[in-house]
Amino acid sequence: MSTSGLLKGKRGIIFGVANKRSLAWAIAQAAHREGAEIALTYQNERLLENINELAPEIGAKLVLPCEATEEKDLIRVFEAVDREWGRLDFLVHAIAFAKKEELEGEYLKATADGFQLAMNVSAYTLTAMTRIARPLLAKAEKGSSVVALTYLGGEKVMPGYNVMGVAKAALDMSVRYLANDLGAQNIRVNAISAGPVNTLAARGIHGFSEMLKHVRDKAPLKRNIEAQEVGDAAAFLLSDYARGVTGEILHVDAGYNTIAW
């Protein structure tokens, strides 16, 4: 049940829950705790089993398949939301993909195909889904909130992040341009730049444990972050407490982004 109820009476959709370690799931749990009603999407049959286990934990009744790069899927999802709710108070984008071979070695070796795939999945989908959701987001009486997940590798060079870094740079600028387009309708658009967390998205990434240790040693808070801290920050951005915040990249990274050495 809701304790402080930051999101009481709000209805939102979250894209990108793959399993219980997903940052999207931490956001879903925080939003549920704060009293929101939540819809979830899952990418494919492979992830349906996970979602079917997780959705009941947060009382999510609307659980929809969605390949976010397919406009017809996005249209179908927001038609379903329109039928069920007739409006949308928030939308969370927690989707990224690059080919594994693009996430190691030199950026220079990026192929056109690999570059375009990372850009399309990790950056363009935010613009596409926000455009399609716009009429629903505009119906929220106290304004609505879009939150995306980004990473420091889109601001500064991180070895191996490569095409994902270029895609996150595009995502960050998309957040600002979308915020500017939608501000007049009281639709806010922000991103959370999370520090590294051991999720499915981090699995098999070369040198990831060393990176966790480096951040733990160097970050002002002298520790790594937990998924729950991303969930709590998202709850703020999705809430009316953040009503004056848009086009912002909020770093939830134990302060790591502020240090040069």
Q: List the catalytic residues.
A: 151, 161
For residues 110 and 163, what is the distance between their CA atoms, to the nearest angstrom? 7
CB of 223 to ligand 0WE, least distance (A): 16
**Span from 2-10, 79-87, 154-162, 248-256 in contact with ligand 0WE (CB under 6 A):** 154-162
User: Is 123 an interacting residue with respect to ligand 0WE (CB under 6 A)?
Assistant: no
Strand, helix or coil for residue 10: coil
Determine which residue in the list 64, 80, 138, 202 makes contact with ligand 0WE, applying CB under 6 A.
202
Taking CB under 6 A as the rule, does residue 169 contact ligand 0WE?
no
Q: Which of 23, 26, 255, 16 is nearest to 152 (CA)?
A: 255
Q: Would you state the structure tokens that stand for residue 142, as one six-digit string?
A: 């106290």
Segment lying near ligand 0WE (by CB under 6 A), choices 84-92, 171-179, 195-203, 237-245 = 195-203
Q: Which of 43, 160, 190, 224 binds ligand 0WE (CB under 6 A)?
A: 160
Which backbone phi and psi does 158 adopt, to 5 degrees? -120, 120
Binding segment for ligand 0WE (CB under 6 A), chosen from 75-83, 86-94, 153-161, 219-227, is 153-161
Number of residues that bind ligand 0WE (CB under 6 A): 14
Strands across the sheet containing 90-93? 62-65, 37-42, 11-15, 90-93, 144-150, 187-194, 249-252
Backbone angles phi, psi at 47, to 5 degrees: -100, -5
* Residue 161 binds to ligand 0WE (criterion: CB under 6 A): yes
d(CA 31, CA 203): 26
Spatial distance between the Cα atoms of 200 and 116, rounded to a whole number of angstroms: 22
Q: Residue 151, interface with ligand 0WE (CB under 6 A)?
A: yes
Q: Which of 140, 164, 234, 242 binds ligand 0WE (CB under 6 A)?
A: 164
The Cα–Cα gap between 209 and 114 comes to 25
Over the range 2-28, which residues count as b (16 or more CB within 10 Å of their CB) and which as e? eeeebbeebbbbbbbbbeebbbbbbbb
- Looking at 19-27, 45-53, 201-209, 253-261, which segment touches ligand 0WE (CB under 6 A)? 201-209
| CB of 205 vs ligand 0WE, minimal distance in Å | 4
Minimum CB distance to ligand 0WE, residue 152 (Å): 8
In the list 138, 158, 169, 245, the residue contacting ligand 0WE (rule: CB under 6 A) is 158
Give the angle subtended at the CA of 151 by the CAs of 219 and 63, to the nearest 5°. 125
From residue 93 to residue 122, what is the string marking binding to ligand 0WE with x (rule CB under 6 A)? Answer: ---xxx-x--x-------------------
Q: How far apart are CA 44 and CA 150, in angstroms?
A: 23
Residues that bind ligand 0WE (CB under 6 A): 96-98, 100, 103, 151, 158, 160-161, 164, 196, 201-202, 205
